Amino acid sequence: MADIRVRFAPSPTGYLHVGGARTALYNWLYARHHGGVFILRIEDTDVDRSKPELETAILESMRWLGLAWDEGPEVGGAHGPYRQSERQERYRQVVAQLEKSGAAYPCFCTAEELQARRAHAEAEHRAWKYDGACRHLSADEIARRRSAGQSYALRFRVPHSGTTAFDDQVFGRIEVSNADIEDFVLARSDGHPTYHLGVVADDLDMRVTDVIRGADHLSNTPKQILMYRALGATVPRFAHLPLILGPDKQRLSKRHGATAVGAYRDQGVLPEALVNFLALLGWTPPGGKEIVPPEEMVQSFELSAVSKSNAVFDLEKLAWMNAEYLRHLPRERLLPLVEEELRKEGFRIQDSGFSGRRPEAGRQDPGFRIQDSEGGNQKLEIRNQKPEVRDEIAEVRRQHAASPAHEREKFERSVLLLQTRARSLKDFVQSGRAFFSDEFDYDPEARKKFWKDAALADYLDALAARLEKAETFDAAETEKVLRGLAEERNLKAGLLINASRVALTGQGVAPGLFEVMAALGRERVVARLHRAAAFLRNPSAGNN
RNA sequence: GGCGCUAUCGUCUAGGGGUUAGGACGUCAGAUUCUCAAUCUGAAAACUCGGGUUCGAUUCCCGGUAGCGCUACCA
């Protein structure tokens, strides 16, 4: 299949929702698999509901998911414009062509009239379909009404007999008799095209070879095929995708909670996890693997392997998949993500208040590096500077070496520690709060469970004292110290371990205690143990 | 109502005329342990119903039922 061209055509009447995202993904996979072109088109024919901000948000979500388009807004292409609102002239031409050939005719029925007739039919339990009132108006009559200024819509003249069929790449052969298709509207009385006109004209102009979209369009397809034929055009291949449902098996909607792609990003979901999860909603890769990297998806994606039945969006499985991706995320990618998360939550990463030896704000980086003409970084030579400047630079360097570098290291170790049990990026700032700030509360549940022993305050002080003097401060050494103390006092090590965990992290649940200690550093550990001891002696003095 | 589509564990699904109906998430139990994850082991859990075709149907056909979609001058 050479020269495959597919498109994803969202309408900017809402955010990109997960169903749309899956449709976009399948289009993208199909295009990439076949070395074809992936087009993004904005279907903003509904002028009342379409909003430019929403278009921006959709584009943003697409980029976040990693679904780059080859033609469309912002990247252009040879078959644009890619916004329906900018293609009005083209639709007028198509309508004119259809009207001229007799495939379309003006309908002067007003919305109210149609409404009334429909209601009447329903009241009598008759199936309603546009009754063709204007289907056979004479040319004279049409001219008369037009010159009288009567507004009209344009309808497609659907044949009364015969059937329209097509071979869907997912659903197989679909056949409907034309008698069941009504004379649908192509152009509204205000001249704006309807969806049917827009898609067909655009898909034609954009040379779309494969229309891949939600199964909610399955019933619309025969109408569109009729239009292609009336236009004398080649009918593209169609592939319809089963719908995504909520837990109640109803079509997924806002009622079910988060449906927007952006909402999942805000909840700390990784794009690769969402993509992988969405891909599996209706498609099974060969071998039934669950975790499938994008390259592999592209390689093995086949429309014929797409399921025909609707799928429930299972948040639990998404959460699992997100955790899976999060745990295996390379640190270069994880660290910036966590930093961003912390920033969003108002943490100041370099300034967690421990060493107090960080450079003052205004002096942080007085030309420590300069940009060379190639754009790379180049260190300033100290010896060529005037003495005052030289001293200042030297001082800043010293501080950078002493404190920020150290803090940075602690930060990285903490992130990596937390990574092993994170389920979402939010976990780093929520349950992991104590790793990035001194301001954290003792979880009431954890206190109840692990701070029961009356003598704990003394134990924690004793532990702090010993840790302060410990030879080194790595996991092995701190463990030795703690277990030694436990043995001397005839305590179970678990008692001290669990109590210390609450003291150091505020949580009853956290990574292994000795790794936590190493990541936090001696100073913080000692301070927090003492602080917890003080709190235990006098809880009313305040939490913290 | 009319038209169309769909139907395997709670969920996502594999499979296909003869299978102990497979996997994954979730659930439960155990191992591990310093809490919780992770990990490992194990368990419970499904072919919508009725007819046909057939030596044999979960699989193929027909019908019922249920669900979903379309039925707009929405997309």
* Whole-number pLDDT of residue A47: 76
Q: Which nucleotide minimizes the distance between its C1' and the CA of A109?
A: B73
Over residues A24-43, the mean pLDDT reads 97
Helices then strands (H, E): number in chain A? Answer: 21, 13
Residue A177 DSSP class = E
Number of C-beta neighbours around residue A8 at 10 A: 25
pLDDT over 60 (residue A167): yes
Q: Is the pLDDT of residue A398 over 80?
A: no
User: What is the rounded average pLDDT for all residues in chain A?
Assistant: 86
The C1' atom of B33 and the CA atom of A516 lie apart, in whole Å, by 16
Residue A518 has pLDDT above 60, yes or no: yes
pLDDT of residue A241: 97
Q: Does the structure show a pLDDT above 70 at A313?
A: yes
Rounded, the Å distance between the CA of A214 and C1' of B69 is 10
Q: Is 50 exceeded by the pLDDT of residue A385?
A: no
- Confidence (pLDDT) at A352: 40
Query: What pLDDT is recorded for position A22?
Result: 97
Q: Which residue is nearest to nucleotide B12 (CA to C1')?
A: A281
Question: pLDDT tens, A334-358?
Answer: 999 999 998 888 776 554 433 322 3
Mean pLDDT of A428-436: 89
Residue A101, phi then psi, degrees to nearest 5: -80, -5
pLDDT at position A126 is 82
Q: Which residues contact A366 (CB under 8 A, 6 or more apart)?
A: A392, A393, A396
b (16+ CB within 10 A) / e for A473-492: bebebbbebbeebbeeeebe
Q: Average the pLDDT over A69-96 and give the result.
A: 93
- The rounded percent of chain A whose pLDDT value lies above 90 is 64
pLDDT at residue number A541 = 61
pLDDT band at residue A388 under the 50/70/90 scheme: very low
Q: Given pLDDT bands bounded at 50, 70 and 90, which one contains residue A453?
A: confident
CA distance A66 to A271: 8
Q: Give which of A505, A170, A427, A142 is closest to A305, Cα–Cα.
A: A170
A205: pLDDT strictly greater than 50: yes
With a cut of 70, say whether residue A365 has pLDDT above it: no
Q: pLDDT band at residue A282, thresholds of 50, 70 and 90?
A: very high
Q: What is the percent of chain A where pLDDT is above 70?
A: 88
Residue A346 is predicted with a pLDDT of: 78
Question: Where does the pLDDT of residue A132 fall: very low under 50, low under 70, confident under 90, or very high at 90 and above?
Answer: confident
The larger pLDDT score, comparing residue A132 to residue A170, is at A170
Segment A271-298 mean pLDDT: 94
Residue A103 has pLDDT above 90, yes or no: yes
Q: Which of A31-45, A180-194, A384-398, A504-518 has the lowest mean pLDDT?
A: A384-398
What is the reported pLDDT for A501? 95
Alpha carbon separation from A503 to A225, A445, A476, A527, A544 (Å, rounded) = 69, 13, 20, 10, 10
User: Does residue A411 have a pLDDT over 90?
Assistant: no
| Residue with smallest Cα–C1' gap to B73 | A188
Residues 6+ apart with CB under 8 A from A533: A456, A457, A458, A460, A461, A464, A503
Among protein residues, the one whose C-alpha sits closest to the C1' atom of B4 is A219
Q: For A151, how many CA atoms within 13 A lie in the half-sphere containing its CB?
A: 8
Domain annotation for chain A: domains and CATH numbers? 5-84+245-323 (3.40.50.620), 87-241 (3.40.50.620), 359-402 (no CATH), 440-541 (1.10.10.350)
- Tell me what pLDDT residue A2 has: 56
pLDDT band at A371 (very low <50, low <70, confident <90, very high): very low
CB contact at 8 A, A105 and A74:
no
pLDDT band at A431 (very low <50, low <70, confident <90, very high): confident
**Model confidence at A323, in pLDDT bands (50, 70, 90)?**
very high
Q: Which nucleotide is nearest to A220 (CA to C1')?
A: B70
Q: Say which of A100, A129, A254, A379 is annotated catalytic.
A: A254
Q: How far is the CA of A62 from the C1' of B44 (A)?
A: 41
Q: Which residue is closest to B35 in terms of CA–C1' distance?
A: A509
Active site annotation includes A426? no
**C1' nearest to CA of A111: which nucleotide?**
B73
Q: Using one digit for the tens of pLDDT, what is the confidence trace for A34-63?
A: 999 999 999 988 777 888 899 999 999 999
In the block, tokens 């509204």 appear at A188
What is the pLDDT, as a whole number, of residue A542? 55
CB atoms within 10 A of CB A160: 11
A232-269 residue pLDDT tens: 999 999 999 999 999 999 988 888 888 999 999 999 99
Q: Which residue is nearest to nucleotide B26 (CA to C1')?
A: A316
As a whole number of angstroms, the distance between CA A421 and CA A418 comes to 6
Query: Which is more confidently placed, A315 or A542?
Result: A315
Protein CA at A21 to nucleotide C1' at B7, angstroms: 25
How far in angstroms lies nucleotide B73's C1' from the CA of residue A135?
16
> Is it the case that residue A24 has pLDDT exceeding 80?
yes
Ordered DSSP codes for A92-128: HHHHHHHHHTTSEEEE---HHHHHHHHHHHHHTTPPP
Q: Among all strands, which nt has the closest C1' to A281 (CA)?
A: B12
Q: How far is the CA of A426 from the C1' of B34 (A)?
A: 25
Nucleotides of B under 7 A from a protein CB: 1-8, 10-14, 22-26, 34-38, 67-75
Distance A288 CA to B19 C1' (A): 19
What is residue A448's predicted lDDT score, i.e. its pLDDT?
87
For the cut 90, the answer to whether the pLDDT of residue A395 exceeds it is no
Using CA atoms, how far apart are residues A280 and A239, in angstroms rounded to an integer? 17
pLDDT value of position A378: 26
Residue A129, nucleotide of least CA–C1' distance: B71
| A474-516 residue pLDDT tens | 888 899 999 999 999 998 899 999 999 999 999 999 999 999 9
Residue A5 CA to B42 C1' — how many Å? 50
Over residues A424-452, the mean pLDDT reads 89
Instruction: Assess whether pLDDT exceeds 60 at residue A182.
Output: yes
| Residues pairing with A464 in the sheet | none
- Round to whole Å and give the CA distance between A244 and A306: 13
- With CA of A479 and C1' of each nucleotide, the nearest comes out as B34
Question: At A396, is the pLDDT very low, low, confident or very high (cuts 50, 70, 90)?
Answer: very low
Q: Which nucleotide is nearest to A187 (CA to C1')?
A: B73
What does the pLDDT read at residue A73?
94
